[in-house]
Amino acid sequence: MINFLRGLPKVELHAHLNGSLSIESIKELAEKVYGQQSEEFAEMCERFISFEKGANLNDCFQKFAFVHELTSTPQGLDYATQLAIRDFARDNVMYLELRTTPKSNGNMTRRAYLETVISAIKRGTKQHEINVKLLPSINRSEPVAVAEETVALATEIAQNEPDIVVGIDFSGNPNQGKFSEFAPVLETARKHGFKLAIHCAEIDNPVEIREMLKFGMSRCGHGTYLGNSGFAHMKQYNIPIECCLTSNVKSGTVSSFGSHHLKQLLLADAPKVLCTDDCGVFDTTLSDEFLLATETFGLTQSQCIDLIIEAVQHSFATPEEKLKMKMQVYAYTRRQ
Ligand code: IMP
Ligand code: ZN
């Protein structure tokens, strides 16, 4: 099964750039950014040892901070984007929607951040057999003014890069920030033609869940606490839930793989896609996520193929790109 899944051309629709670098790639990035002989590199390697000896969740979240340090310059960000694309391509991901929060600091403006990622995407897609789109992220724990700047930049940049910048992600710590305050800027993004991928019902917040469902979205991140009526709503409006098994269990929003809501979605034949979320932070790959689903819920190879085709349908790709992806999947299955 694992060989079949690794070889299967896959579609990744929920991947945060700074969470997607594997330990090996973070090391590679650190070596590039700091230089192998530097004190900073030696110190970073020390900090990694604790991860490798069975990381706990706090260690996992520290990895975001590590990577953010390393991607705080255009060079580091460029290299990180290339590494992430390479890692997904190595796992035979044929189509990737990468999301990332544009950050400004002394080295880079938010515009430069987005331009750097786009330039790396262009090179990455030439080097590897993978199609990559970008969803600039709105971090709900930052001020609304930052979200407004992000949407304005995305709108401007998408005029030159309509094939790359295709949607907006709403993410960040679900215990912080109010969705209702971000709804107007998300509505502006939607009016400009962006598809919206919204982290929704990651925690149990019934008021916000109602607001989000009323607002609408193209895809729903996690959807853990939607409940049966929420799942029915998603089925009625054909909104897929981006299921991230390892991320949800390791971050503690779901207590075990067996109790993951993917089971209910499968039983209800509701729209769903399997994704990694932060494959570096949670130490997984998309192939591993499919393997987990086969082991936990008894999915067959043919059901895995159906899930890939479902992901193709719900991707923000063009109709031509979707057709090409389906043909790639069918060509692979014919060879089996
Ligand atoms: P970045 O946007 O490329 O820096 O990716 C890391 C960021 O993605 C984190 O700082 C969070 O804002 C966001 N993120 C990653 N995983 C999750 C999640 O499971 N829920 C909400 N936000 C997340
Ligand atoms: Zn996420």
**Predicted local confidence at residue 43, as pLDDT:** 83
pLDDT tens, position by position, 231-247: 999 999 999 999 999 99
202 given a catalytic annotation: yes
- Regarding the beta carbon of 199 and ligand 1, being less than 6 Å apart is answered yes
**Predicted local confidence at residue 66, as pLDDT:** 81
**Predicted local confidence at residue 37, as pLDDT:** 87
- Regarding the beta carbon of 20 and ligand 1, being less than 6 Å apart is answered no
By C-alpha distance, which of 280, 265, 271, 333 is closest to 305?
333
Q: Which of 26, 62, 64 to mutate to test the pocket of ligand 1 (most atoms within 8 A of CB)?
A: 64
**Predicted local confidence at residue 58, as pLDDT:** 66
Q: Which carries the bigger pLDDT value, residue 54 or residue 87?
A: 87
DSSP string for residues in 37-51: TSHHHHHHHHHHHHH
pLDDT tens, position by position, 35-86: 988 888 888 877 776 666 555 666 666 778 889 999 999 999 999 999 999 9
Cβ atoms of residues 139 and 168 within 8 Å: no
Please list the helix, strand and coil fractions of the chain in percent, rounded to the nearest 5, in that order.
55, 15, 30
In Å, the largest CA–CA distance within the chain is: 57
Which residue's entry shows tokens 């909104």? 239
Q: Which carries the bigger pLDDT value, residue 23 or residue 142?
A: 142
Burial class (CB in 10 A: 0-12, 13-18, 19+), 310: middle
What tokens does 321 get?
Answer: 């790109």
Using CA atoms, how far apart are residues 96 and 192, in angstroms rounded to an integer? Answer: 22
Using CA atoms, how far apart are residues 94 and 311, in angstroms rounded to an integer? Answer: 12
Domains and CATH numbers, the chain: 2-335 (3.20.20.140)
**Predicted local confidence at residue 40, as pLDDT:** 85
Helices (H), 161-226: 179-191, 206-215
Bridge-based pairing state of the strands 195-200 and 272-274: unpaired
**Predicted local confidence at residue 63, as pLDDT:** 75
Averaged pLDDT for residues 183-187 = 98
**Predicted local confidence at residue 52, as pLDDT:** 62
Residue 208 has pLDDT above 60, yes or no: yes
Residue 199 has pLDDT above 90, yes or no: yes
Q: Which of 83, 105, 135, 171 to mutate to test the pocket of ligand 1 (most atoms within 8 A of CB)?
A: 171
**Predicted local confidence at residue 64, as pLDDT:** 84
The one catalytic residue among 202, 208, 242, 289: 202
What tokens does 248 get?
Answer: 């949800």
CA dihedral (217, 191, 186, 262) in degrees, to 10, reads 10
pTM: predicted TM-score of the whole model, two decimal places: 0.96
| Residues 6, 310, 254: CA angle, nearest 5 degrees | 75
What tokens does 139 get?
Answer: 């971090």
- Regarding the beta carbon of 74 and ligand 1, being less than 6 Å apart is answered no
Using CA atoms, how far apart are residues 189 and 208, in angstroms rounded to an integer? Answer: 20
- Regarding the beta carbon of 278 and ligand 1, being less than 6 Å apart is answered yes
Averaged pLDDT for residues 302-324 = 98
pLDDT tens, position by position, 6-43: 999 999 999 999 999 988 899 899 999 999 888 888 88
pLDDT tens, position by position, 241-293: 999 999 999 988 999 999 999 999 999 999 999 999 999 989 999 999 999 99
Measure 123 CA to ligand 1 centroid, in angstroms: 24
Place 146 in a pLDDT band, splitting at 50, 70 and 90: very high
- Regarding the beta carbon of 224 and ligand 1, being less than 6 Å apart is answered no
Averaged pLDDT for residues 305-311 = 98
Q: Which of 16, 100, 108, 139 to mutate to test the pocket of ligand 1 (most atoms within 8 A of CB)?
A: 16
Residue 177 has pLDDT above 60, yes or no: yes
- Regarding the beta carbon of 76 and ligand 1, being less than 6 Å apart is answered no
